[in-house]
């Protein structure tokens, strides 16, 4: 079994392609089910955000898994397989582990250091655990990744230097409409990103803050938490006319801010400029709004270009990179040690069964043996077996930890030398199946 990461992100594809790869909840489940139905994959975790879609897989074959993942993504998204191949990247084993840890830390984010990915990885793990798509190996990987991500933000200077999509959007909007402390700012949506938007706006001293969302309860909750005004969804056209800056991030599949509605708002504003920051994928704001007089529209792709020009402080970046390298080594060490664990456990179970059988034979042949003598014999036999097993069990763990060959080779040697039950060991090392290296460019 091997770990594979295969995906497409803002680093390998334009936002126009990522927009077409955006998945809602039902599509995420459909893709997960399709992936698990293949013979080459045993565990699956799916990361789908506004700037990446990645499949983390525990696979039985490399090439078979890569082909299956690519075909499954094409089938669920409707994007041509050949087009996907121009943007797919693949990481294998230690490079895959390093990639997962880097993503969780925020090193691979559009806004380097963005902490939102931590919550997205946590949700991915919880969803995989609930549906059974995440087994023992991916559970260990993602749990470790979350610990690494938390350490990146608590033990390094990452947060000090990290730039935010929201901050960048607000800065660009301010350059267009003027000082935001006296501006009217509208937040469309009330999810995790919208909450970040509203919180960031309030922290910057914006007091004329309004929240609009389809769900009244969530709208009221977010407004109360940030000192904003909550408005009903049907009031959006009226609120738009008053807004100097609009930041939108909903889960809608169509535009929620239409050009026709904005055009009427522009007419009522007497030439005052408007800025629109679209943080959604697919886009919330009709791109045609950009052609209206006085309107600036910023999409994720625009913000990404801005952020690519902002370099993270060298010391902070090196701290996080060093952390990732150290944690990859620690994870590989733990995994190598664990790889021989089932074989060692099976060896000890086998030895215990042999001892039990021989002691029962002794009882049948010497029924008159008194209790004290029987106890001494049992103790002596157990000591002999323990001494005989001690060196091979310790040594095999040391060899695996030192990376002297694949840990699985030592486990195989134990099985062969001691004639252990292969099926029994396999049930410990491989989860039950559900259902039925490089760049690809």
What are the catalytic residues? 50
Choose among 94, 127, 108, 106: nearest CA to 7: 108
> Would you state the structure tokens that stand for residue 57, as one six-digit string?
């897989």
| HEC-encoded secondary structure of 46-57 | EEEECCEEEEEE
Choose among 184, 284, 167: nearest CA to 228: 184
Choose among 335, 357, 340: nearest CA to 420: 340
Gap between the Cα atoms of 324 and 145, Å rounded: 9
Residues 13, 16, 17, CA angle at the centre, nearest 5°?
50
Whether omega for the bond prior to residue 282 falls within 30 degrees of 0, making it cis, is: yes
Choose among 162, 352, 185: nearest CA to 276: 185
Gap between the Cα atoms of 374 and 380, Å rounded: 10
Q: Where are the alpha helices (DSSP H) in 312-403?
A: 314-365, 371-402
Helix (H, G, I), strand (E, B) or coil at 271: coil
CB 139 within 8 A of CB 125: yes
Burial of 84 per CB tally in 10 Å (0-12, 13-18, 19+):
buried
CB 6 within 8 A of CB 68: no
- Provide Rg for the chain, Cα atoms: 29
| HEC-encoded secondary structure of 134-173 | CCHHHHHHHHHHHHHHHHHHHCCCHHHHCCCHHHHHHHHH
Choose among 23, 198, 159, 50: nearest CA to 110: 50
Phi first, then psi: give them for residue 162, nearest 5 degrees: -65, 135
Sheet holding 184-188, edge to edge: 229-231, 208-212, 184-188, 245-248, 274-278, 295-298
Gap between the Cα atoms of 298 and 176, Å rounded: 11
């Amino acid at each position: 079994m091997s770990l594979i990461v295969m995906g497409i992100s803002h680093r390998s594809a334009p936002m126009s392609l990522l927009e077409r790869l955006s998945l809602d909840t039902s599509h995420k489940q459909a893709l997960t089910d399709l992936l698990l139905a293949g013979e080459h994959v045993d565990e699956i975790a799916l990361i789908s955000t506004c700037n990446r879609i990645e499949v983390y897989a525990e696979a039985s074959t490399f090439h078979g898994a890569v082909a299956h993942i690519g075909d499954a993504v094409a089938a669920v998204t409707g994007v041509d397989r050949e087009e996907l191949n121009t943007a797919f990247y693949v990481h294998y084993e230690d490079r895959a582990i390093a990639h997962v840890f880097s993503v969780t830390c925020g090193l691979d984010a559009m806004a380097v250091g963005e902490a939102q990915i931590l919550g997205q990885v946590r949700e991915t793990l919880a969803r995989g655990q609930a549906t059974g798509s995440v087994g023992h190996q991916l559970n260990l990987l993602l749990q470790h990744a979350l610990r690494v991500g938390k350490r990146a933000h608590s033990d390094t200077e990452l947060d000090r230097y990290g730039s935010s999509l929201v901050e960048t959007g607000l800065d660009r909007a301010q350059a267009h409409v003027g000082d935001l402390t006296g501006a009217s700012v509208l937040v469309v949506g009330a999810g995790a990103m919208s909450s970040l938007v509203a919180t960031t706006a309030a922290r910057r001293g914006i007091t004329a803050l309004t929240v609009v969302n389809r769900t009244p309860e969530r709208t009221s909750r977010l407004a109360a938490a940030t000192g904003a005004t909550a408005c009903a969804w049907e009031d959006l056209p009226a609120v738009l006319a008053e807004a100097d800056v609009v930041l939108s991030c909903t889960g809608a599949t169509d535009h929620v801010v239409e050009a026709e509605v904005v055009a009427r708002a522009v007419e009522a504003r007497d030439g005052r400029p408007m800025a629109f920051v679209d943080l959604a994928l697919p886009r919330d704001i009709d791109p045609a709004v950009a052609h209206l007089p006085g309107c600036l529209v910023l999409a994720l792709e625009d913000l990404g270009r801005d952020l690519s020009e902002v370099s993270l402080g060298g010391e902070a970046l090196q701290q996080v990179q060093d952390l990732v390298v150290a944690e990859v080594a620690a994870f590989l060490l733990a995994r190598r040690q664990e790889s021989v664990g089932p074989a060692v456990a099976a060896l000890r179970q086998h030895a215990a069964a042999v001892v039990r059988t021989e002691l029962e034979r002794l009882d049948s042949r010497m029924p008159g043996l008194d209790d004290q003598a029987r106890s001494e014999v049992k103790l002596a036999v157990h000591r002999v077996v323990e001494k005989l097993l001690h060196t091979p069990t310790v040594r095999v763990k040391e060899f695996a930890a030192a990376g002297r060959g694949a840990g699985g080779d030592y486990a195989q040697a134990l099985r062969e030398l001691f004639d252990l039950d292969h099926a029994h060991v396999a049930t410990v090392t491989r989860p039950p199946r559900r259902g039925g290296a490089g760049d690809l460019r």
